[in-house]
Amino acid sequence: MSGHGAATELIALTAAELSARLASRDVSAVEATQAHLDRIAEVDGDIHAFLHISADALKTAAEVDGARRMGAKLGPLAGVPIAIKDVLCTLDMPSTAGSRILEGWVPPYDATVVSKLRKAKLIPLGKTNMDEFAMGSSTEHSAFGPTHNPWDLDRIPGGSGGGSAAAVAAFEAPLALGSDTGGSIRQPAAVTGTVGMKPTYGGVSRYGAIALASSLDQVGPVTRTVLDAALLHDVIGGHDPHDSTSLTDSWPSFAEAARTGAAAGSLKGVRVGVVKELGGEGFQAGVSARFAEALDLMAAAGAEIVDVSTPSFTYAIAAYYLILPAEASSNLAKFDSVRFGLRVNPPGGGTVEDVMAATREAGFGAEVKRRIILGTYALSAGYYDAYYGSAQKVRTLIQRDFAAAFEKADVLVSPAAPTTAFKLGEKLEDPLAMYLNDVTTIPANLAGVPGMGLPMGLAEEDNLPTGIQIMAPAHEDARIYRVGATLEALLEQSWGHSLISRAPRHPLAEGRTT
Amino acid sequence: MSSAELMDFDKALELFEPVLGFEVHVELNTKTKMFSPAPNPAAPGADAGEPNTMVTPVCLGLPGSLPVVNEQAIRFSISLGLALGCEIAPTSRFARKNYFYPDLAKNYQISQYDEPIAHDGAVDVELANGTTFRVEIERAHMEEDAGKLTHVGGATGRIQGADYSLVDYNRAGVPLVEIVTKMITGADRDAPELAKAYVSAIRDIVVSLGISEARMERGNLRCDANISLSPRGSGKLGTRTETKNVNSLRSVERTIRYEIQRQAAILAAGGTIIQETRHWHEDSGTTSPGRPKSDADDYRYFPEPDLLPVEPSRELIEELRAALPEPPAVRRNRLKESWGFSDLEFQDVVNSGLLVEVESTVAAGASPAQARKWWTGEIARLANVKAVDPSSLVSPADVAALAVLVESGELTDRLARQVLEGVIAGEGTPVEVVEKRGLKVISDDGALIAAIDDALASQPDVLEKIRDGKLQAAGAIIGPVMKAMHGQADAARVRELILERANSQG
Amino acid sequence: MSESNPSPLDVAQVAHLANLARIALTPEEIEKLTGELGVIIESIAKVSEVATPDVPSTSHPIRLTNVFRPDVPGETLTVEEALSGAPERDGDRFKVPAILGEEQ
């Protein structure tokens, strides 16, 4: 045991690699967990990826080690630490969704995905920071302070799941769970040089995920490699009778799909559709350049690159910013100071109506209030048809565009975000500019199709990560893992290393990197 | 609650035509709630439970919780729709009705809005004069009940003036079907009776379907009554009021009568009716204004994104249609026939809204005649004194037990009335009350004979008369004997014994 | 709002919406939101351009129907679990300040 060096090595492992070491009992879950807790202690003061660190992680790890010693048959990720987005309910940790109104709230139940993690013997490390109620693209809207991008601490880690992406990018955890309503998994992946997958709507249970917009939300994996995402997806996916929108598909092994893709080395016969509307004007030059290179690389590997047009996508952001606030305004009504969460009594007391209003005024941040008021407006008498009703029709048009595009292509690709990470504070005072960050990711949520963000290199102008998005038809998540793993392998071959290995090891001094 | 000016009912009807509308909420008696597997306090044999013991994260609206529809509630709702003569929608949908209230865990109610499960039906209601009135049903839709508030402090225990309130969410999520009528015109002076008969007919339907316990005093069945007055012959609709949660058949009738008189007085005096929610007060027999309708009633309905459309197959609908109980008219004829009641006797039961009670009592072992006698007689009398519905006083099972005790001679009618009082006072079942109060008929001839002999000895003149064959004179002896027996003797047997002793003595 | 602002919303409307949404916004917040939301609404109002009557609505991305649960009782919370997050309780019930409005 060389102490520091061995621990550093442990945190650099992918989940798949760590899994193999755990299975061969070369490394214990306690060692792996301790290494990550040490890493969190070391860097999280600067990154602020976590809102809460589990007090039980080492105990849970010891139990897994014990079970393994007893010869128990364990799943592939048993003993691997994982960070959990604070939007997910956990019995043993506060679940705040990044909001003051839920500060300190410990739910009396686990989200289905959390139960699945526990059953598969992963080690929950803690809860990760996020934009309040997942409303944002920068994690600056967290009530508990922003998360910093490990590539540049002055920059945003994306949002809303900036905490999960940063935790993985900063090697504080090999795996994390995120949730994606309009890009909250994929956009942070793009700007932190990590991998994020939004499954087909209904592919992963929403039970216990604090709802933002019920018809858009989807829980998914946040990792450093495509295979790790697939392994985690295999654990959390599948039908849940507690979620009416949960699909009953019998899903193939995504890990298998990723391994097949990584080994293929070729994209022969794969039709890759380039979505015209999700590129070009408004996209950072370095992002567009890396995207063009990725397309060349895929073409060179035998993919047939086709241009597809999806005219209705032009209306996607508008529809999204009607549907999301409308559903959110209703979903967030339950935060009323009666059954859980904050209660604020107005000066001099008041009726329950006054107390509810004062609590919501004090407990919600500016962005949440903005969207609740917007959603209340969109649903109110006289405006419903023009706004919410029209947005639901746009949704149909977007689905039709996807259907037509998937006639011509097996997967669709675009940049996963229009720009690299912007500076903290840069867009905070301009909500509309902030909303435009999700232009590439929103259509998939509106149509319910799966999408993945994965690294496609650093932008020349700022040396920051860029990401490519791969989308497939609904139910075809395995196709994304196959194509994604192939592309990941091709890119890493062309670079000679993984992108994340070039991430600064903040705050380790120069020369102390692995 | 200021007492309003009222116009004489007959005068009001001369000037105005009442227009009615009802929203009846039926709590379904499924085992579990509408959207969660928590036990249903409205299930058969269940009760309200200790506070907050019948809840899941869904009932409390905890963050992250999600609703899942109870299949049985869907089947019950379809059956009810069919029994109401409704069309069952090929596609229906849940929607959220958004408003803040502390008993509403999510601050939205999952209901149905523009796509209810059933629509366009009719219920034929029988009136005392033998005519049938057709009430058109606009829709029947599914929704969830709210929790229960208890207001603490203040003078009245009511919401006004309370210091604070307490919330129990056991009832939150109980499955409801709301039955909404179309506008009812032409009832005229029968309006109050029609109101009661309509709610009673709905009650009969849900009981015969077995889909609700239908106990109005427990809130299993609740009626909101809409009423407006139209100046006779004008063809113009008036402004309506909606009186909420009228919780007995008796109150439904009285509410309509009261509102007709109140509105008529206001309109005749040149006033205007305010469109508002009103509350019925059983004690004073009046309604009082609640909340005026305002733009705060913007419920922002939208399709519930956590739930999917309900699309019952033709096969399911036909299966449920085939399983429907007989139509109400057929049922009534069958019951009348099998009970052997005269037209008058049967009408008495129906018009008292006691068909369900008599039927259940007969099913529990009483003779039809005894069941009818107790319900329309002593129980109805007591209910009237207490200003409640008879059904809220005592269960059919207890009435049947009482009737059986009378029929077997173990109780006299007089004793049985005392037992009934005990049952109503909560002392237990009839058998338990008989036990506790020691109310059994004295069938020990020895004790009777001793008392008879005493009485005869103290009234020798009467003894003479009896011996002379003036048998009616025995009546003078029965009184003292019954008194000596504290009423716990069978008068017929006493008479028999008196004649026997009179003629054997001397 | 000043007359020079062509916002589709005015402060009275925003105040009304805040009341519907039960948020005690300050006058400054209402003022600020009126402007911000005006800009946002103008940019999203374009959905009506393509939402013609012949286009059906989509409320669920993946359309399922008849998703039901059998009528079988399941696990419930204990009273302590149910009340564990209550800001205020009285015995086994949630306690709230006096209610002004009435049941709906």
The chains found to touch C (3+ Cβ pairs under 8 angstroms) are: A, B
Q: CB-based contact (8 Å) between B210 and chain C?
A: no
- Does the pLDDT at position C5 exceed 50? no
SS3 per residue for B129-149: CCCEEEEEEEEEEEEECCCEE
Question: Phi-psi category of B263—alpha, beta or left, where left has phi over 0 and alpha has psi -120 to 50?
Answer: alpha
CB contact (8 A) between residue A352 and residue B57: no
A chain contacts of residue C94, beta-carbon cutoff 8 Å: 338-339
C99 → closest Cβ in B69, B159, B310: B159
Q: How much is the pLDDT for C2? A: 37
Beta strands of A333-416 (E only): which ranges? Answer: 411-415
Question: For chain A, how big is the Rg over CA atoms in Å?
Answer: 22
Rounded to a whole number of angstroms, the distance from the CA of C40 to the nearest CA of chain A is 7
DSSP assignment string, B405-441: HHHTTSS-HHHHHHHHHHHHTTS-SHHHHHHHHT---
- Window C:39-58, CB contacts with A under 8 Å: 39-41, 43-52, 55-58
What are the pLDDT digits (tens) for B292-320? Answer: 666 557 999 999 999 999 999 999 999 99
Q: Per residue in A21-30, pLDDT tens?
A: 999 999 999 9
Nearest to B298 among A97, A244, A380 (CB): A380
Q: How many CB atoms lie within 10 A of CB B424?
A: 17
Chain C contact probe: residue of B40, B101, B103, B308 with most C CBs at under 10 A = B308
Closest partner CB to C79 (pick from B52, B244, B295): B52
d(CA A440, CA C1): 35
Name the minimum distance, in Å, from the CA of C73 to any CA of chain B.
Answer: 5
For C85, name the nearest residue in chain B, comparing CA atoms only: B62
Mean pLDDT in chain B?
91
pLDDT of A414: 98
* Distance from C-alpha of B101 to C-alpha of C34, rounded to nearest angstrom: 27
Question: How close A305 comes to chain B (CA, Å)?
Answer: 37
List all residues 6 or more positions away from A234 whose beta carbon is below 8 Å from its beta carbon: A76, A253, A254, A255
Could you read off the pLDDT of C37-63 as tens digits, one per residue? 999 999 999 998 999 999 999 999 999
What average pLDDT score do residues B221-250 get? 93
A314: tokens are 């032009």
Closest by Cβ to B163, choosing from C82, C83, C98? C98
Cβ A107–B57 below 8 Å, yes or no? yes
**Amino acid A511: pLDDT:** 37
Distance from CA of C22 to the nearest CA of A (A): 5
Helix axes B314-322, B71-83, angle to 10 degrees: 60
B404: its two tokens: 């059986």
- CB within 8 Å: C40 and A353: no
Phi, psi of A9, deg, nearest 5: -65, -40
- Phi/psi of residue B329, each to 5°? -65, -40
pLDDT greater than 60 at residue B357 = yes
> Which residues lie across from A53 on neighbouring strands?
A126
Q: Which residues of C touch B23 (CB under 8 A)?
A: none
d(CA B367, CA B64): 55
**pLDDT value at C104 more than 70:** no
Is any Cβ of chain B less than 8 angstroms from the Cβ of A336? Answer: yes
Give the model confidence (pLDDT) of B272-293 as tens digits. 999 999 999 888 889 988 866 6
Give the H or E element holding residue A234: helix A226-236
pLDDT recorded at residue A375? 97
Distances (CA, A) of B310 to B3, B59, B212: 48, 21, 22
Contacts of C65 in chain B (CB under 8 A): 91, 308-311
Tell me the per-residue pLDDT of B456-478, one tens digit each, with 9 for 90 and over: 888 888 888 888 888 788 888 88
For A336, the closest of B65, B107, B308 (CB atoms) is B107
Q: Cβ distance B116 to B74 under 8 Å?
A: no
Q: What is the pLDDT of residue A2?
A: 40
Rounded Cα distance between A437 and A416, Å, is 10
- CB proximity list for A2: less than 8 A, separation 6 or greater: none
Residue carrying the six token digits 């009568």:
B257
- CA A187, A191, A193: angle at the middle one, nearest 5? 110
Instruction: Kindly indicate the confidence band of residue B415, based on its pLDDT and cuts at 50, 70 and 90.
Output: confident
pLDDT tens track, chain A, 514 positions:
344 567 678 999 999 999 999 999 999 999 999 999 999 999 999 999 999 999 999 999 999 999 999 999 999 999 999 999 999 999 999 999 999 999 999 999 999 999 999 999 999 999 999 999 999 999 999 999 999 999 999 999 999 999 999 999 999 999 999 999 999 999 999 999 999 999 999 999 999 999 999 999 999 999 999 999 999 999 999 999 999 999 999 999 999 999 999 999 999 999 999 999 999 888 999 999 999 999 999 999 999 999 999 999 999 999 999 999 999 999 999 999 999 999 999 988 889 999 999 999 999 999 999 999 999 999 998 899 999 999 999 999 999 999 999 999 999 999 999 999 999 999 888 888 888 889 999 999 999 999 999 999 999 999 999 999 999 999 999 999 999 999 999 999 999 999 999 998 765 434 334 3
| pLDDT recorded at residue B294 | 62
Mean pLDDT value of segment B49-72: 98
Question: Percentage of chain B surpassing pLDDT 90?
Answer: 66
Three-state DSSP at B166 gives strand
CA B56 to chain centre: 30
Residue length of chain C = 104
- The catalytic residue positions of A are 85, 160, 184
Q: What pLDDT score does B293 carry? A: 63
Give the tokens for residue A139.
């994690």
Predicted local distance difference test score (pLDDT) of residue C3: 40
What is the nearest CA distance from B437 to chain A, expressed in angstroms? 48
DSSP character at residue B31: S
Backbone angles phi, psi at B305, to 5 degrees: -75, -15
- Which residues have CB under 8 Å from A119's CB, separation 6+? none
Spatial contact of A435 and A416, defined as CB atoms under 8 Å apart: no
> With a CB-CB cutoff of 8 Å, which residues 79-118 of chain B face chain C?
91, 99-103, 107
Interface probe for C, chosen from A393, A436, A439 (most Cβ of C below 10 Å), is: A393
Q: How many residues does chain A have?
A: 514
Task: Provide the greatest CA pair distance for chain C.
Answer: 62
Cβ–Cβ below 8 Å for A243 and B305: no
CB contact under 8 A, A102 and B65: no
Cα angle value A493/A496/A499 (rounded, 5°): 95
Chain C residue numbers with beta carbons less than 8 Å from the beta carbon of A245 are: 60, 62, 64, 67
Name every chain A residue with its beta carbon within 8 A of the beta carbon of C18: 373
**Predicted structure pTM score:** 0.90
Q: Which residues does chain B have within 8 Å of residue C97's beta carbon, measured at their own beta carbons?
A: 164-165
CA distance C32 to chain B (A): 23
Average pLDDT on B117-129 reads 93
Kindly list the residues from chain A whose CB atom is less than 8 angstroms away from the CB atom of residue B65: 109, 207-208
Phi-psi region of B261 (alpha: psi -120 to 50; beta: other; left: phi over 0): alpha
Q: What is the pLDDT of residue B158?
A: 65
